[in-house]
Amino acid sequence: MMSTKSKLQLEGKRIAISDKEVLTKLFRVFQSVGCSHHVANVVAEHLVNSSLSGVESHGVMRVLQYVEQYRSGYLKADVEPVFIEHHSGVREVDGKGGIGIPAMWLAVEKNVQRAKQEGIAAIAVRNAGHTGRLGAYAEKAAEDGCLTIMLGGGNRKTWRQVAPYGGRKALLPTNPYCIGIPGGERGPVVLDFATSKIAGGWIYAARSAGATLPEGTVIDKEGNVTVDPEDYFSGGAILPSGEAKGYALGLMAELIAEAMLGPAKLDANVLMITLDTSRYSEPSRLSLVAEEILAEMRDCPTAPGFETVQIPGEREREQLALSDGKIAIPEQTWQQICELLSSIMD
């Protein structure tokens, strides 16, 4: 089995499952809770692609969380996102209370289309559940020749996950940022990160797999550093990435997403800004200069403990290519997914 780069300190083993088998199971699960054929397919494909790309925190294990949210009524299953253009010129996608992944794909489609027409476009995504891996949307826009900047937040009252720098109580969500731009010979460059030291999905993944977390990422309710995911769920918090810098970025996203875009009804509000790069640089020139910059980074002598200098976004594509259509899932997590499907089909 191919090696899997993961933040989980896993005691059990992983098993290799074909992407087609996983996709089929996830599709059936989502349809069984009331999702349309389109939504079930879009969400299942997004989760499978995330796992194949090595982004386990936003991969197939999320089906367990999503189904729980559907069953509790937190998410609506029988809805489709809607694009709205207001008379004021404000453009948004209303997720209608459903999962956020279809809403994000619709937002990318509309924003790229408008950016190609007018040079730059902005859109808000509201009233949607978890939006999945932002990097996937930015990469698609970059493949279409656009620079995209995204940030999400605005629901700290429901998702209190991250302690402010110097604090020990969870007050902020993980408020992600993402930037994607056409790159050089190896494709787009995509920056996708939470403003916390670890994405919340990794904590759910660790709990599901019976694993521990990386050192220095989470504190318990007393403010002590811990690697046990249960300490987080028992009143702990995630630490901000880069200390004061991560806290400031997270706070800024919260202000933009709530004070500007309005209260977030579900997981978060997202602001997406898309720019047609060809308005500034002919595509072949952009690619040539980008490759010159990126090649210089890759050729940098490595520091002790490092094998290469990586470019944001390339690791995911390399992992996808090396996966050979197989997802290395923690055995315990896969068992839970199979049990979920079995209980639904009985």
Q: What is the pLDDT of residues 44-76, one digit of tens each?
A: 999 999 999 999 889 999 999 999 999 999 999
Q: How far apart are CA 133 and CA 150, in angstroms?
A: 12
Condensed to tens digits (0 to 9), the pLDDT of residues 167-220 reads: 999 999 999 999 999 999 999 999 999 999 998 888 988 888 888 999 999 999
**Between 331-345 and 62-72, two packed helices, what is the crossing angle to 10 degrees?**
40
pLDDT above 90: percentage of residues in the chain: 82
CA separation for the pair 259, 240 (Å, rounded) = 21
* Gap between the Cα atoms of 212 and 76, Å rounded: 32
Q: For residue 157, count other CB atoms closer than 10 A to its CB.
A: 11
Mean pLDDT of the chain: 93
Q: Residue 313 in contact with residue 139, Cβ under 8 Å?
A: yes
| E strand spans, the chain | 14-18, 82-85, 91-94, 120-128, 146-153, 177-184, 187-193, 218-219, 225-226, 237-238, 268-276, 326-330
Q: How confident is the model at residue 1 (pLDDT cuts 50, 70, 90)?
A: very low
| Average pLDDT of the segment spanning 147-176 | 94
Where would I find the beta strands (DSSP E) of 185-325? 187-193, 218-219, 225-226, 237-238, 268-276
Compute the distance between CA of residue 187 and CA of residue 290 in angstroms, rounded to an integer.
10
Strands 187-193 vs 177-184: parallel, antiparallel or unpaired: antiparallel
Q: Over 70: is that where the pLDDT of 134 sits?
A: yes
| Spatial contact of 248 and 147, defined as CB atoms under 8 Å apart | no
Among the listed residues 256, 74, 260, 268, the one whose alpha carbon sits nearest the alpha carbon of residue 159? 268
pLDDT of residue 3: 53
Is a pLDDT exceeding 70 seen at residue 4?
Answer: no
Q: Is the dihedral of CA 30, 34, 35, 41 positive or negative?
A: positive
- How does residue 262 score in pLDDT terms, banded at 50, 70 and 90? very high
pLDDT exceeds cutoff 90 at 124? yes
Q: 308 Cβ partners below 8 Å, 6+ apart? A: 298, 302
Closest CA to 146 of 279, 46, 311: 279
Q: In sequence order, what are the beta bridge partners of 329?
A: 15
Average pLDDT over residues 141-160: 94
CA torsion, ordered 115, 116, 117, 118, to nearest 10 deg: 40
| Tokens matching residue 212 | 């521990």
Angle between helices 200-209 and 62-72 (to 10 degrees): 100
pLDDT of amino acid 98? 97
Q: How many helices (H) and strands (E) does the chain have?
A: 11, 12
Q: Using 50, 70 and 90 to split pLDDT, how confident is the model at 147?
A: very high
Structure tokens given for 300: 């940098």
Record the tokens describing residue 38, joined without a space.
Answer: 């389109």
Q: Which residue has the higher pLDDT, 7 or 102?
A: 102
Q: List the domains of the chain with CATH numbers.
A: 14-345 (3.30.1370.60)
Q: Backbone phi, then psi, for 271, in 5-degree steps?
A: -105, 125
Give me the torsion for CA of 255, 260, 261, 267, rounded to 10°: 10
pLDDT given for residue 133 in this prediction: 95
